[in-house]
Structure 1
Amino acid sequence: MSDTVLSLTDVTLSLAGNAGVIDILKGISLDVTRAETLALIGPSGSGKSSLLMVMGGLERANSGQVLALGQDLSAMNEDALARFRRKHMGVVFQSFHLIPTMTALENVATPLELAGDADAFDRARAELEAVGLGARAGHYPSQMSGGEQQRVALARAAAPRPDILLADEPTGNLDGANGAAVLDLLMGLRERHGATLVLVTHSNGLAAQCDRVIRLVDGELDVQREAAE
């Protein structure tokens, strides 16, 4: 089995705006290997989040090729993409995207139920325990702090044991202590499940803890370096 989990070749992305077509990504070529932790950094508007969304098939590239686990995402329709993500990917958004009418346990169990997992709630409870929220399983998002909600979102993303975990500014809305805790959890997911982790961040400290750091400027790869030991 190849060690390359994500492979992008000459990927472009353009979006129509009020001022006309805007080039978001300009010929990105990039490989990410199994169990690697990769940080995407760069100024606001540089294309970091768009690149992450293209990796997850949540945005379709205008040209180029995006392979995930050897599968061509551009060749899949929306249903096939959804099934692929459900089986192989976990996505963590800065704004959590928890379902407000569901408890923490129900939020984490939902992707497992959709996948037909018979022990969905047992696995969901175990993931909540792993992120230190076993006692909050019956609470709704409105009853939890921002840091707790982000941990629920992490548990939901990790519960299906994804091969690839994509995180968009996972600590952006959190204070220093909660941000550090969430980073520890992200790295722990890699250790526990062997997932490949790609994250977008403005935090140099967070980026430095990853195996590799890639900087984007104006939709192009600018600097690629190994994170400091």
Structure 2
Amino acid sequence: MSDSVLRLKDVTLSLEGNAGPVEILHGIDLEVTQGETIGLVGPSGSGKSSLLMVMGGLERATGGEVRALGHDLTAMDEDALARFRRGHMGVVFQSFHLIPTMTALENVATPLELAGHADAFDRARAELEAVGLGKRADHYPAQLSGGEQQRVALARASAPRPEILLADEPTGNLDGTTGQAIMDLLFDLRDRHKATLVLVTHSRALADLCDRVVRLTDGRVADTQIKAAAE
């Protein structure tokens, strides 16, 4: 049986709103096993992105337990969470979050430098080559198209060779053709690094590529669909 990579037990999330606390997640129980690809789907406001952020320790659960690779994220402070993500997780957002004053190469290399990798720039260049941007390494984000910027973000997330890849609407800001290319690259990166992938998507085509689809409604797991094994 595959090892558990992510395990959430009775997870709740409450955020402070203008009119008081807003309950976002309600008693989420979910386990993701090594090498699995999970698609989180559901209507806008159902809690998909919030759940992904809780999985990555980017949002702290109000209650319950979140474990990643056997570590209790709910027990870590912000510095410990940042170190854990740096060593074990890659995160891709719908908005690319590139540093505008850095080249594509520098954007990818910076997290590796912070992690103490002596070969940070060599690895960064290799990842840019892998996403088809080797010749654009010295360009700044403003000189790149949206699809190219998302490729840089993918390279940055995968360069540390994380065990866990988290992606929040990675094709949401892109046209259909570019989005398809990003989908292909995302799954290629998963395969190359043998990573476990959890993604939030409104795209039926992207969800269909996942091993399991978890549908959220009003901050709760409504149902789970496991893709039948190919015959």
**TM-score over 0.5 for the alignment?**
yes
Shift of 1:19: 2.3
The alignment status of 1:90 with 2:90, answered yes or no, reads yes
In structure 1, the residue matched to 2:161 is 161
Which amino acid is 1:17 matched to? Answer: G
Aligned mates of 1:58, 1:191 — CA distance in 2:
25
User: One-letter code of the match for 1:15?
Assistant: L
What amino acid sits opposite 1:85 in the alignment? R
- Could you tell me how far 1:2 is from its partner in structure 2? 6.3
Indicate the SS of the match to 2:60: coil
Q: 1:150 aligned to 2:150? A: yes
Structure 1 runs (4+) deviating above 3 angstroms are none
Show the counterpart of 1:74: 74
How far residue 171 of structure 1 moved from its aligned partner, in angstroms, is 0.1
Work out the CA distance in 2 between the residues paired with 1:134 and 1:194: 23
1:162 and 1:10 map into 2 onto residues whose CA distance is 26
Identity across aligned pairs (percent)? 76
Q: 5+ unaligned residues in a row in structure 2: which ranges? A: none
Question: 1:173, 1:114 → 2: CA distance?
Answer: 29
Distance in 2 between the 1:134 and 1:78 partners?
34
How many Å separate the matches in 1 of 2:174 and 2:56? Answer: 24
- Mapped to 1, the partners of 2:7 and 2:164 lie a distance apart of 12
RMSD: 1.1
Alignment of 1:106-185 (within 5 A): 106-185=106-185
What is the TM-score normalised by the length of structure 1? 0.98
Deviation at 1:189, TM superposition (A): 1.1
8 Å CA contact retained: 1:207, 1:227: no
Aligned-residue offset at 1:223? 1.4
1:16 corresponds to which residue?
16
Tell me, in whole angstroms, the C-alpha distance in 1 between the residues paired with 2:150 and 2:182: 8
What is the distance in 2 between the residues matched to 1:161 and 1:17?
37
Amino acid in structure 1 at the alignment position of 2:197: L
Q: Distance in 2 between matches of 1:65 and 1:172?
A: 30
Q: Which secondary structure does the structure 2 equivalent of 1:99 belong to?
A: coil
Match of 1:216 in 2: 216
Match of 1:64 in 2: 64
List gaps (5 residues or longer) in structure 1.
none
Q: 1:189 is paired with a residue of what secondary structure?
A: helix
Q: Distance in 2 between matches of 1:183 and 1:138?
A: 24
Quote the offset at 1:227 in angstroms.
Answer: 3.0
In 2, the alpha carbon distance for the partners of 1:168 and 1:104 equals 21
Q: Whole-Å Cα distance in 1 between the matches of residues 227 and 200 of structure 2?
A: 15
Counterpart CA distance in 1 for 2:190 and 2:145 is: 25
